[in-house]
Structures are given as structure tokens and as C-alpha cells.
A and B are shown apart, each in its own frame.
Chain A
């Protein structure tokens, strides 16, 4: 796309040149171009200086543990709580210096950030991979530089698992299983299910789907009739659910959403369609963010499987242990619950996110 744009731009400017015959005018135009280029360069340089200003302020790592953390982005309320937990925990601990980088849901940004951390020589690199694959090269660079890598909340798919030290976070497959088991426990074994998947290729989307399908396989009455990605966002969940309802309508008994934000978007779509969410369509989702509890208290969401984002304390415990030279387990699983609608009102005030 960008290329065609640039080409069309060049075409247009060529036309312009051929159109005007007066040479002086061309010269004038070029002068103008040069001047604007100068202005542009100065502006770009100024913009580039801004991060430099901040970086200089943080160079006091005498005896302190410098942790470089590359976050995926701020795509959902869960992620925001995750970021908040890591940043506030780092601020609490005087021996930790956190270098935080936001990848805006793009792998290339994340790889760039990790390379920057390596170049800066941080003590520990931690990151939540945007997608599972494609991190091999950059992780090798980290290993060669002797920097331990901690994976938080999402795993990577690399052949050599010595490239990372530990993977902490939830077991997404188990979350998918829990969601399916709840349906079976409630006796909802003869149902048509629609599924709102997360971002295509992301670990939670793949694993939650796998876990869910694994459990419902034993129940011939449970069928997934439609599945589509809603990209973990509210607007995605709403748009896809609208289309599901158009295609299947009253056939849908159960909605399985890979996160709460999509479920909340879908609830709006169901209400606009004229069905009652939580009654006409049973809704199962994962994450247990505050919005989900609000929806459950209002009776619009049936159950949410917890996926705790509060990884900050765990992360820095592990980083400190690594710096003390201790061995840490390869897998640290977060303890998590299932919250059905009935208990929502009781626990809502104790939720931190």
C-alpha cells in the first residue's frame, strides 16, 4: 500500500513538472523543496531527541537490577492491569530499575525493543510475546549477551528452550478447559456454541481454543457452529457477534469469548438483536476483569475464568532470585479461579483490576 502511494505521488509530481514549462519555476519549486526538507530534518531530529532526554535520566544502575520489559500494548483492560502491576511493583522496589517499552501489538517493535535492551546491557529482559513464533534470532542474541530472558503470561515457540529462563503466567489451555468444564457441570451439553477468538496466532487464542475443544470433544452434543477472530477488542466482539446473529440467529445457545472485552462487545450486539444475554445465550468468557464483574452483577454474563494479570511481584521476585544466582523453575503458574455470576456481587469490590 505504502509503495503504491509513493509511486502515485511520484507520478503526480512528474506530471506537474512536464506541465510547467518555465524553468525558473522548476528551480523555485526545488528551492522550496530543499527548504522544507531542512525544516523536516530539524523537526525529526528534535523528535528523536525526546526519548534520549528520558533515557539519560535513568542511568543510575549502580548495584541496581535493570529490568527491560517489552509489553504487548494496551489492547484490553487486562493488559492495562498487567502493565500497572509491573510498573507499580517496580516503583515500590528500590533495587529495581524498570525500562518499559510498549510494542503496540507489533512483533517488529518488540524485537526492536529487545535489541535495544541488549545494546543497553540490562540485567534481565522480560517480555510478553505478541505472537508465539519468530523470536528465535533475537533470543539467541540475548543469550549470547548473557542476559536472562523471562517470558510473562505468553509463551514462545522456539526449538531451544534454553533461550529463556522461565515462563510465568497463566495456563491458557487450562483456562479453556475450565470454561468448557463449567458448561458441562451446568448440564449444558446439548448446545450450539459460537466462539469469539482472540488475535489470530496469539498464544491465548490458540491455547484457549485447544483447551476448550479438548473438553467438549467428549460431548457429542456440544458443537462449535461459528468461530471468528474479534481481535480481543470490544468493537471486534460486537461486529463479529452481530454477523453471527445474522447468520445463525436463535440457533445460538452459548457464546465462548476468549476475553471479557469481546464478551462485553458481544453482549451489546445480543441486546440490540433483541435477545437477553445471560439467558437466551449463555456467555462464558475468560480474564475476570472488572467490566466482566459489572456485567455479571447485571445478569448479562454467566461466568468468567480468571486469568490474573498481577504478575509484577512474581516477575521482580524472579529477577532478584536470578541476580542472586539462584535457580528458578522453568514454569511458574499463577493461581486462578472461576467466577460464576452468583458470586460476582460478593467479590466485585475486592477485585484490583
Chain B
């Protein structure tokens, strides 16, 4: 985490405070929330759950951060997740949609992974092409795939929930490496690689420059259109990977529900994390944002808050987190306090 924090501004403090507040609440009021045991040779506990269940959101948040920093937004990530999951399941069990229920030969892991990821990247690049080269507004451009994508996923699965068994593929979503759930390891790896690419090369600076002023960046010699397209492609890749994790975890491709509304969680995470729409971005902030949202969900389920009020409760907390983040509000509060004293 240390190198991640170095580049981030002090805005990271507030998301961290919010996350700690949620965790502290659990420390005092939820028994055993912090206990991490080793069970069947792997780590086990609510905290691990937060990381593990939050993995898909964290992955798409990484891609979303970069897109958001270029001044765009990617609404299609949830749909891309559904498509990549549907493709994996379809590749593993191609006969299922024809009504053949017996399990056939297992498809090689390489194919099951590479094709969905490749398609996800292509879909992301398509978004980028619309935004950068055609000049469509990012919300609209990605909205097209958000709506159409889920339909495409359902076409792939023929509206069925494709269930499958594939040992090595299942490892990705529910396996353990060194006792740690594999999705967590994937998140750490991808975060590290993205950090290396954006902070140890000039790519990160390019992205921020494009976000702050595309024209000036163009005159500086940055290939603005190409860079934008690539960030959308990267976001597509992240979504594809997240889709594979979800699909492999439940051993089924649920085209209708996989990644549903996750794009909103990802955008919320990015904003909570302090990335500016068009400008500075903070990978660490985004990851913390994603963790806040997942910590909230896990707390809600573990504590047994009545399901009817869950969404209101969630909205309430997110509004508070967003508010304490706002510099304007903090300044106004200070102002009020000063006036109060006078």
C-alpha cells in the first residue's frame, strides 16, 4: 500500500476515515467480525469476505478510475461482466443450450479465459472508439453497450442460466492460493500492475493531462484519441475479468444478474475515492471506495438489518461518506462554526 499512498493527495484521509468508521462499528457491535481463522488450510472470516466479495467491484473500479480521470465514464462494465461470464460458461458447456444435459469434454482453461477476455477488451475498445474518434458523449456511448450488452449476454446463453463444472476454471473464483482467496490475489496483482503502468511510466500523467485539458494535451504531442480508446479497452478488460470471477464463483452464467448495477457501485467507489472527472486520479482511493461499499453490504447482511430497509440504509451511509468528502461542505461548516462563535 505504501507506494500507492505516496502519490495520492490528502483526500485519501476521508475515505479511509469512513472505512475505519464502518469497521470500528463492527469491532464494537458485531461479535467475531474481526476474527480471522485458518479453516481447511485457508483464511476465513468476515474481513476476508469483504475482500473476496468486493473483488469484482474493485476490479472494475480500477478500470473505471482511469476512464473517469480522462473525463469519461464507463456505464457498460456490468454488461461486459455478463457477456464475459456468459461466454466462459458457453465455451465450457456448449451443448447445454441445445438441451444436452450430460457434461461433455472439458474445454481447455486457456480458451475459456482468453476468448471472453479478448471479447471484453474489444467491447471496451468499441466504447473508446465511439468516445474518442466519433465524439459521442461518454455517458451515451457506454449506455449503448450497457443496454445492448445484457441482451447480447442473454443471446449467448439463450436466456438460460448455464451451470457447469470445470475444476481449473472454478479455481479462479473460489480457489485459494497461499490460503488467500484467488480473487483477492488477482485484485492485488492488477492494482500493482496498473500502479506500475500509470505511476512508473508517463501513462498516468498522460491520462490526467487528457482529463484536465484534451486540447493542450494534443498540442503537447499526446495521442489523445488513442489514449482514451485504450483506457476504455482497459476498463473492458477489468470488467471481463470481474465477470469471469463471478461466473466461476457460482459455477453458473447468470446473464440477467451478473454485474447488475455494479457500474453504479464502481462509479460511487471512484467518486468516494476522490478521483476527479477529468484530472487527478487515485487508485488507492478507488480501492478504498470499493471496500467501503462492500464493507457496508457485508455488515448489513451479517447484522441482519431487515431486507426492506437495506437500500435506504446503504444510500444514507453513502450520502454521508460523500458529504464528509466534499471540501466545500467542510469549508461551509467551518464558516458556520466561526460565525457561531462570534
CA distance A131 to B254 in the complex (A): 21
Q: Does A175 sit at the interface, judged by CB under 8 A? A: no
| Stretch in A30-38, A59-67, A145-153, A165-173 with 4+ CB within 8 Å of B | A30-38
Does A268 lie within 8 Å of B250, measured CB to CB?
yes
CA distance A229 to B264 in the complex (A): 20
For B42, the closest partner residue in chain A by CB is A272
Q: Does A243 sit at the interface, judged by CB under 8 A? A: yes
* A1-49 interface with B by 8 A CB criterion: 1, 4-6, 8-9, 11-12, 15-16, 19-20, 25, 29, 32-33, 35-36, 39-40, 43, 47
Q: Which of A12, A229, A231, A242 contacts B277 (CB 8 A)?
A: A12
Q: Does A207 sit at the interface, judged by CB under 8 A? A: no
Q: Does B193 sit at the interface, judged by CB under 8 A? A: no
Known: A73-B256, A80-B159. A40 touches B174 (CB 8 A): no
Does B136 lie within 8 Å of A39, measured CB to CB?
yes
Q: Which of B53, B150, B304 contacts A226 (CB 8 A)?
A: B304
* B72-91 interface with A by 8 A CB criterion: 73
Q: Does A240 sit at the interface, judged by CB under 8 A? A: yes
Chain B nearest CB from A249 CB (Å) reads 8
Q: Chain B: how many interface residues by the 8 Å CB criterion?
A: 55
Chain A nearest CB from B67 CB (Å) reads 13
Q: Chain A: how many interface residues by the 8 Å CB criterion?
A: 59
Q: Which of A33, A75, A246, A247 contacts B257 (CB 8 A)?
A: A75
The A contact surface, by secondary structure, is: helix
Q: Which of A4, A200, A274, A290 contacts B40 (CB 8 A)?
A: A274
A-B contacts counted at CB < 8 A amount to 125
Q: Does B71 sit at the interface, judged by CB under 8 A? A: yes
Chain B nearest CB from A126 CB (Å) reads 19
Chain A nearest CB from B66 CB (Å) reads 16
Known contacts A6-B139, A235-B246, A244-B301, then 9 further A-B pairs from the complex at CB < 8 Å, ordered by chain A residue: A1-B264, A16-B278, A83-B159, A233-B257, A235-B257, A239-B297, A240-B301, A246-B45, A290-B101
Interface residues of A (CB under 8 A from B): 1, 4-6, 8-9, 11-12, 15-16, 19-20, 25, 29, 32-33, 35-36, 39-40, 43, 47, 73-77, 80, 83, 104-105, 197, 200-201, 226-229, 231, 233-236, 238-240, 242-244, 246-247, 261, 265, 268, 272-274, 290-291
Interface residues of B (CB under 8 A from A): 30, 32-33, 39-40, 45-46, 49, 53, 71, 73, 101, 134-137, 139-140, 144, 150, 154, 159-161, 163, 174, 213-216, 246, 249-252, 254-258, 264, 267-268, 271, 277-278, 297-298, 301-304, 307-308, 310
